Amino acid sequence: MAFEKVLTRNVGNPAVLRTRGYRDTGGYDALSKALRMAPEEVIEEVKRSGLRGRGGAGFPCGMKWSFVPRQSPQPKYIVCNADESEPGTFKDRLLMEFDPHQLLEGCVIAGWAVGANTTYIYIRGEYTKAASVLEEAVRDAYASGILGDSVLGTGFRHDIHVHRGAGAYICGEETGLLESLEGRLGQPRVKPPFPAVVGAFGCPTVINNVETLCCVPHIVQRGADWFKGIGPDERNTGPKLYAVSGHVERPGTYEHPIGITFQELLDGCGGMYQGRALKAVIPGGASAPMLGPEDREIPLDFDRLARAGSMLGSAAVIVMDETTCVVRATLRLARFFAHESCGQCTPCREGTNWMAKILARIESGKGTEADLDLLASVVPNVGGISLCALGDASQGPVKSMIAKFGEEIRDNLRHGRYPLPRRRIFELGAVA
Ligand SMILES: Cc1cc2nc3c(=O)[nH]c(=O)nc-3n(C[C@H](O)[C@H](O)[C@H](O)COP(=O)(O)O)c2cc1C
Ligand code: SF4
């Protein structure tokens, strides 16, 4: 049976950019329903749905909401993480540009559930179009009585502010984001305390990814059981957006039930570019360890990918074909992490640069097998002992490159084959 699109069902219908058009499709019915439920009931429904965060860590959403101390006299906040700076990731942009009210609805429901009267949508600086679309939607929602002093006439107040970031990957890490939101340098905080207890402006705060919040109205409207019915098991539920880039015929953002296999996803993208052979795939954004052609049938969900030694992460699927130099591809990622490290922790600050330097030496043809050994000895010292997950994330691509392609790289080094020929990724004009 064909999968009925949920999160992207309104893509291509410009009417939904306005509150009225969105309401014509049943939009804001879930908000109306939620406001007739007790906040605890909303949290319970989200918990039962099995919804796990779509921003990278896969933390259970309802559980996170339940950590907010309801009796606290402090204001509470919802922060929507729309930073989306992980290389290869472009799923949240689609949701914001094409269906902004779906996100606003999710934010207000989250606010009702945890007792928050304010949402901040922290959006990456480069997303100028998405930010304008959201700002316009927010204005329209105020004018239509969806936002403001009395949401849908219920007396519940909720305000939404769109806050533009300035283009730093580390401001996607939830506590780096909070520092930036509060006007300081975006450097992660020590955890605990976690934001649900001490978050924005020292107050209890729920931080959720755009896609996570977009799932919420559907869970409220159609029920936890319906949501749980999508996906392979109770721990991996719901619809999922996969952002596919690289050597495929039709790159783009695709919605599927969570847990389809990589091969199924690839088939839906028209297969490998020009029918070339698959060399490697990064299944969850730049932080996710690479997989090889032998892993085609692995379901793309949280648990199966973890078992395979990788992760779902932001579900940015980067496909590399046989013409790819894996050392060069890994170097690009290593340079990214070195550039984006905020510098607070020595292992991350120094280690990311070390990895990039050694990879550059190998890629350029000046490396030896001893460099590969040196690289392998640096990797375990970079993550696990730092303040945030960037340090850990930076290891993933390098470690997996050595595990999957170590022998091939050694062989290339022995035979003096680096630098491998640079090929144009796509023949110009071949891809629409
Ligand atoms: C370096 C770094 C960058 C991150 N960037 C993002 C991001 O752009 N968007 C996002 O939603 N989560 C990002 N995260 C994860 C967030 O810290 C947080 O787990 C997430 O926003 C929680 O929302 P969720 O539970 O709905 O996934 C990042 C984490 C790290 C360590
Ligand atoms: S792990 Fe890296 S990015 Fe994260 S706080 Fe430490 S230095 Fe900054």
Alpha-carbon distance of 387 to 397, in angstroms, equals 20
Rounded mean pLDDT for each run of 10 residues along the chain, 432 residues in total: 90 97 98 98 98 97 97 96 96 98 98 98 97 98 98 98 95 98 96 97 98 98 98 97 97 98 97 96 95 96 96 96 95 97 96 98 97 97 90 95 97 96 60 36
Q: Which residue minimizes the CA distance to atom 6 of ligand 2?
A: 345
382 lines ligand 2 (CB under 6 A): no
Residue 87 identity: P
Question: Could you tell me the residue ranges of all domains in the chain?
Answer: 14-228, 239-321, 326-414
Residue 360: Cβ-neighbour burial (10 angstroms; 0-12, 13-18, 19+): middle
Task: Give the pLDDT score at 432.
Answer: 33
Taking the centre of ligand 2 as the mean of its atom positions, its distance from the CA of residue 224, in whole angstroms, is 37
What CATH fold (topology level) applies to the domain 239-321?
Ubiquitin-like (UB roll) (3.10.20)
172 lines ligand 1 (CB under 6 A): yes
- Say if CB 131 and CB 142 are below 8 A apart: no
Task: Give the pLDDT score at 421.
Answer: 87
170 lines ligand 2 (CB under 6 A): yes
Count other C-beta atoms under 10 Å from residue 161's C-beta.
Answer: 12
Q: Does domain 14-228 have CATH number 3.30.70.260?
A: no
> What are the angstrom distances between the C-alpha of 246 and each of 236, 242, 337?
26, 13, 20
281 lines ligand 2 (CB under 6 A): no
Q: Does domain 326-414 have CATH number 1.10.3720.10?
A: no
> Ligand 2 pocket: which of 85, 350, 388 to mutate (most atoms <8 Å of CB)?
388
Q: Where are the alpha helices (DSSP H) in 144-277?
A: 174-181, 210-222, 224-228, 262-268
pTM beyond 0.85: the answer is yes
Which atom of ligand 1 lies nearest, measured to the CA of 340? 1
Residue found by looking up tokens 């960037």 in the block: 390
Q: Which residue minimizes the CA distance to atom 8 of ligand 2?
A: 342
208 lines ligand 1 (CB under 6 A): yes
**Residue 360: strand, helix, or coil:** helix
First to last CA, the chain: 29
Task: Give the pLDDT score at 424.
Answer: 62
Alpha-carbon distance of 283 to 314, in angstroms, equals 9
